[in-house]
Structures are given as structure tokens and as C-alpha cells.
Structure 1
């Protein structure tokens, strides 16, 4: 994992430009480099390996693209018009460091760069059909049906009760779809999509919800210094979470159930999927 994280950091450092005008490159690099668990790109690479590893350039580019989308979403989520947070990955948020307008533009530029990364000149390493597949997966997971839609529901739900089905739908969109897309983008880059995609899709869906349940647990059990972001902010903002709905112990049990579902989805996969299984364990047992 540490080796892969270093390689992802190198790829991001290469593909996120310093020379963007008027300081934009600096704010983009501040937002995405030197921090983060890199769970999404790690899932891309693990799934690509498990699916055959046929297009390593596709896996690399998909890993960078999905992390750019994730980083842009954090920049925008932290802004005063959204969650109004001051701390991210243990350092001041982008709007605190560079101002709100520059933060907005940095997020916009990273979102566009993600799709630029996925669409270089067609080659044997990254044919047009694979480029189109990767773009489609990432776009659908990022937009109204996925991350952006989930965030809209989240903002509209402050102070309002949600039943468990509505909460699950919100987090499936807000967090789960991008995690699931990471697995499917890896599978597409691996080359054996028809064989493994149903298993990987079920794995990604269960893992995506489990990630959010654990996030809700950590928000009330860990200090800001450990999380690298403001602890307890969902409770303070009166947002519905799995902990507020189920209680802490039941939320932990639900996370364990989802982890088991994720592993069961890979039951027919061989040892080539062991890195995916290991990442599922890391999601369940993470401390930040």
C-alpha cells in the first residue's frame, strides 16, 4: 500500500500542472498533493490487477482522475456556502489558504483535468473504447446521479429526519458511487470486465456504504488531530448520520455486515483479488 501511495503521489505530481495561470496551479496542487489516504486510486489499481492488468496506463490515469474528482469535491464541500470547514487533511482548507474565488476555480479546474487525464491521444495502451468507458463511469458517479446529487440531498436534509432507506440512498450517491466507480474503472482497465464486473460492482457498492458508515463513526469517536478534519461537525450541523439514526454500536455492526457483503461478492474470485479484500479490511478498521 505504501509503495502504491508513493506511486500515486508521483503520478498526481506529474499530471497536476504547476504552470496554470494566476496561481491556479499552486492552489490545485495544494488541494490534491501531500495528503489523503488515496483509497479510491488504490481501489482502481487493485481492481485492475485482479481483472488481468491488461491496460496499466489506463489504471494509472483512472487512479489520477478519480482522486482529482475526490479532491475537487472536498474543496467545494469545505467552502462557506457548503460545510464551511477550516481543516482538511491536517492543514487549512483551500478557501482559507487561497480565498473563496480561487478555491472555487481550483475545484473547477481539477474536475476538468480529471477528464483530460482520461482522454489522451488514442494508443494501444489506452484505446478509444477504454477511454470512453472510463469517462462514462467517472462522469455518472460524479454528477446528479452520484456524488453531486448526494451532496444536494445532504444539504437539503440538515435538521430534517430521514429514514434509513433515504439515508442509505443519500450516502450511496454522495460517497458510494465514486468508490464503486473506482473499482469498475480498475476492472475496465484490467480487461476482463465481462467476467468480473458483476462481482466487482457488488463489492464496490457494499464497500462504498461501509466507508460512509465508518466515516460517521469516526466523526464522533476521534479527535480532529487524528482525523485531519474537524471532528463532530455533522452532529454540530444537525445532519442525519448512521450514528444519529442507529446508535454507535448498531452503526459498528452495520459496517461489519457491509464489510462481510463486500468480501462475499469476491467469494468466487481467486487470490488475484486479495488486494481488494485487504482494502476492504482497511476501510472497516481505519482510524481516520
Structure 2
């Protein structure tokens, strides 16, 4: 199945709905700028892959869940890049939204994307109201406090950082949302799927630390060397490049082992393996050999 086409079609519908009616033209344009062209769409891809592995009995709900997660993720990027946080000039190889549209519209775009994420789920609720309520609950938990991306950003303002809680909230939260929401959309319980999302999020964080340390701005499409510049916790700083790569491999093995029994278990395991291994930058592979 062409997941990319399914994801982009669902996101395009969400953008069109967000720009409908008498929407302020500049804000509507900024919304499109924040979402397209997108990145790898890793989180919605994971969400739909889990739903498919579990039977995908309610594809409309699964699509809504995948879109909602991507909308929240995009909102977090818009807000993270603003001067009050990372003050980044680039995102995905083009000017950060606050550079292209100004800070007021960047703030409003991020806020609009968050609201749209929950609206997308509410709009699909008629397909299965009980599942939709659970999807909204999960997205709320993984967006806000104390376990969501807002908490993750909040840890950066603390004098003493709980590193595990920081990484689990800032990076892991939406991966946990992706696996658990994919399962719920397909009629499964969320709990057994949380470990998979947690481990994928941890692997993603290690890969991101390696990219930040080893790639340049042109290769990343965003500022590089930010962990060292901002004295942030990093797997590379703690373990070195080779140690970080080994840590990544250990996490990936644990992630695959944690996949609950389901009809598409083997295919899902292969997807997680291939997707995760692509995250490691080539200089890291060479350094670990």
C-alpha cells in the first residue's frame, strides 16, 4: 500500500478544511507553508503502519489519527524555531516560518495547527465515537502536561533536567501517540503499544543527536551543532559517536522485540527496522565500523 499517497491526501484535505471560508489569507498561507512540503512524515507513517498491522478496520479514523499527529508535530516545529526557543533560521531547507511570515503569524500558525489536530479527530468521530474519544485523549496526553511535548519543551527551562523525562516528553511523546493511536483506530488497546513508540522515540533522539553532531546545516536543512551550542544533553556527548551508534542498535532491537502480537507483526517489524536504520547518518556508520 502507498502510505505516502494516503498520508499526503489526508493532510491535503486537512489543509483545505483549515483554509476554508473567510480565513485570513496570510494565516492560511502560513498554514500551508508549515505543512508542505513536509519532511519524512515518520510519525503518521508509523501510525498507519500499526493500524494496518492490526487490521485497519476503520481507515477513516486511522487517517484522522495520522493527520492529527502530523499537525501537532508541525506545530511544535513552528514554535520550537521561534526566537523565544531555538531562534532557528531554517527548517526543512527553507526559512523558518517566523522568518518567512513574522513572529505573530508563526505563533498563530502553531496554535492553529494544534487546534486543527483535535478538530480532525472530532470530525472523524462519527465512524466510531468511542475510539475517537480515546484518540483525542491520547493526543491530549502526548501534547500537553506532564507527559507531552509541552512538558518536553518545559524541561529546557529547568535548572536541573530529568534527562529521561525530557527525552520521553520532547521526542518520544508523539511516537508513543503514533503507535498507540494507530492501534486504537484499529480497535486495539493502546497500552501494549506504548513501549514500541517509546523505544522508537528514543532511537530517533539518538539518531538526531548524531546528525546534529556530524552533519552540517545544508545536509540537515536546519541549523547544526545546536546541542553543543546550547549545552543540551546528547547521546554523542555522553557516549561518543561509536557508543551512540551502538546505543541506537540496542534500542532498535528492543523496539522490534516489543511489538505486540498482531496479524501484521512481521511486516511491521521490517518497517520499523528499515525506517530506523535510514535515520543514522553515513558519517556515524563509518565512525562505528
TM-score in same-fold range (> 0.5): yes
Q: Where in structure 2 are the equivalents of 1:153-192 lying within 5 Å?
A: 153-156=155-158, 166-192=162-188
1:150: which partner in 2? Answer: 152
Is the 8 Å Cα contact of residues 168 and 209 (structure 1) preserved in structure 2? no
Is the 8 Å Cα contact of residues 12 and 33 (structure 1) preserved in structure 2? no
Matched, 1:214 2:199: no
Cα distance change of structure 1 residues 171 and 122 upon mapping to structure 2, 3 Å threshold = closer
1:108: which partner in 2? Answer: 111
1:134: which partner in 2? Answer: 135
Shift of 1:121: 6.3
Cα distance change of structure 1 residues 208 and 122 upon mapping to structure 2, 3 Å threshold = closer
- Per-residue CA deviation, residues 233-257 of structure 1 (Å, 9 max, x unaligned), is 1211221212112222211111111
TM-score (structure 2 length as normaliser): 0.89
1:118: which partner in 2? Answer: 121
Is the 8 Å Cα contact of residues 54 and 183 (structure 2) preserved in structure 1? yes
Alpha-carbon distance in structure 2 between the residues aligned to 1:131 and 1:266: 23
2:284: which partner in 1? Answer: none
Q: Where in structure 2 are the equivalents of 1:31-50 lying within 5 Å?
A: 31-50=34-53
| DSSP 3-state at the match of 1:59 | helix
Cα distance change of structure 1 residues 198 and 135 upon mapping to structure 2, 3 Å threshold = closer
Alpha-carbon distance in structure 2 between the residues aligned to 1:262 and 1:57: 27
1:21: which partner in 2? Answer: 24
Alpha-carbon distance in structure 2 between the residues aligned to 1:108 and 1:198: 29
Alpha-carbon distance in structure 2 between the residues aligned to 1:122 and 1:264: 33
Shift of 1:204: 1.2
Shift of 1:275: 3.0
The one of the two structures with greater contact order (alpha-carbon pairs below 8 A, sep at least 6) is 1
Gapped regions of structure 1 (runs ≥ 5)? none
Shift of 1:107: 0.3
TM-score (structure 1 length as normaliser): 0.90
Is the 8 Å Cα contact of residues 52 and 264 (structure 2) preserved in structure 1? no
Instruction: State the Cα RMSD in Å.
Output: 1.9
